[in-house]
Amino acid sequence: MKALVFNTFGGPEVLEYTDIEKPVIGPNEILIKMKAIGLNFADIYRRKGNYHLAGQPPYILGYEGAGIVVELGANVKGIKEGDRVAFADVPYANAEMVAVPFEKAIPVPEPISLNDAASVLLQGLTAHYLTRDSYAVKKDDVVLVHAAAGGVGQLLIQMVNLLGGKVIGLTSSLEKAAAAKKAGAETVFLYQDDWKKQILEVTGGKGVDAVYESVGSTLSDSFEVTRIGGTVVFYGMAGGDPAPVDPRMLMDTSKTLTGGDLWNVLTTREGRVVRSKELFGWMEEGKVRLAEPAIFDLQDGKEAHRYLESRKSTGKILLIP
């Protein structure tokens, strides 16, 4: 079978589209013929050597995708060949065939396309636990969303809205601000402006109820625009490491700092199915809409990586075998 692999760490040029052995599934696994693969920044970090990779080269990137079941392990029940499934946390996805543990296989309902399933799971389930668990959004909450035009950002905006809240977005350009507003942000400010002053002005000096903080280096700023008793959810650091947080500040202001990581949430098959069912249901009802993905053939993975690193994309990038 064909796969996108690399033997040394580096830029997109290290990626090679080549033949490798088809996976041999274990008794609790299923073999998936891939139809769409999600590309994420984690793939960039792994290709560069910034994230740990197990085993020896050639390495295969990819953790998210969707496809058709073509083979079942001896112990697998409750699924059959021909079923449509997706996953958010299975390695070696940049290939025509992927061995998937049954517990990580998420059924895809018929109204949802496999392209949409591959586009939404990683970022959609992240936005889901952030708004349901890390900080449960309530009616009339005012919520600040960092990187509001990104994949998680646009989904956070929609989920905050459907749960009854209102969103202030932060982006780096007017083009991205337009994308955030299209997703449903009530107000969008730019990082290069005095956004802390602007947020305090539009909230009457009080500040927001909660912040979804994915930049990292802006963590202290996020606390400055959070109301007394409000919450900052730290779930990423795309802009660099955050400054240490003084616990006395948290005590004096009754503010809460909480962290979030999807892998601490997706721990059982039941949890995966229940969360994805609600996510897919919102999509079927039109309450959550996906931006049109940028599509590349898997063999053109180098170009897809360059496009993602350019920071020009506002929607999902898919690789199609």
Q: Indicate whether 209 and 230 sit together in one domain.
A: yes
User: Does residue 69 have a pLDDT over 90?
Assistant: yes
Mean pLDDT of 223-227: 98
Q: Indicate whether 163 and 208 sit together in one domain.
A: yes
User: Does residue 51 have a pLDDT over 90?
Assistant: no
Of 223, 242, 259, the last residue of a domain is 259
Mean pLDDT of 31-57: 90
Contact 128, 152 (CB under 8 A): no
Q: Indicate whether 102 and 168 sit together in one domain.
A: no
Of 259, 278, 294, the last residue of a domain is 259
Q: Which band of pLDDT confidence, cut at 50, 70 and 90, is reported for residue 311? A: confident
Instruction: Report if residue 53 sits inside a domain.
Output: yes
Q: Indicate whether 213 and 186 sit together in one domain.
A: yes
- Partners of 233 in the β-ladder: 212, 258
Q: Indicate whether 191 and 290 sit together in one domain.
A: no
Q: Indicate whether 8 and 116 sit together in one domain.
A: yes
Contact 127, 155 (CB under 8 A): yes
Q: Indicate whether 177 and 286 sit together in one domain.
A: no
Domain coverage including residue 149: 139-259
- Mind listing the pLDDT tens digit for each residue in 176-200? 999 999 999 999 999 999 999 999 9
Distance between CA atoms of 293 and 270, rounded to whole angstroms?
28
Q: Indicate whether 192 and 238 sit together in one domain.
A: yes
Q: Indicate whether 236 and 300 sit together in one domain.
A: no
Alpha helices in the chain (DSSP H): 41-48, 114-129, 151-162, 174-183, 195-202, 219-224, 247-253, 269-284, 301-309
- Mind listing the pLDDT tens digit for each residue in 4-18? 999 999 999 999 999
- C-alpha distances in Å from residue 308, one per residue of 39, 122, 229, 296, 302: 8, 16, 37, 11, 10
Distance between CA atoms of 192 and 187, rounded to whole angstroms?
16
- Total tally of structural domains belonging to the chain: 2
Task: Report pLDDT for 314.
Answer: 67
Judged by phi (left if over 0) then psi (alpha if -120 to 50, else beta), residue 92 lies in left
User: Does residue 237 have a pLDDT over 90?
Assistant: no
Q: How many CB atoms lie within 10 A of CB 119?
A: 26
Instruction: Report if residue 80 sits inside a domain.
Output: yes
Distance between CA atoms of 249 and 184, rounded to whole angstroms?
32
Task: Report pLDDT for 288.
Answer: 96
The CATH number of the domain where 11 resides is what?
3.90.180.10
Of 215, 236, 259, the last residue of a domain is 259
> How many residues are recorded in the chain?
321
Q: Indicate whether 252 and 164 sit together in one domain.
A: yes
Q: Indicate whether 112 and 191 sit together in one domain.
A: no
Q: Which band of pLDDT confidence, cut at 50, 70 and 90, is reported for residue 63? A: very high
Instruction: Report if residue 132 sits inside a domain.
Output: no
Beta strand pairing call for 2-6 and 16-19: antiparallel
From 81-85, 112-116, 257-261, 309-313, the region with the lowest mean pLDDT: 309-313
Q: Indicate whether 143 and 246 sit together in one domain.
A: yes
Instruction: Report if residue 233 sits inside a domain.
Output: yes
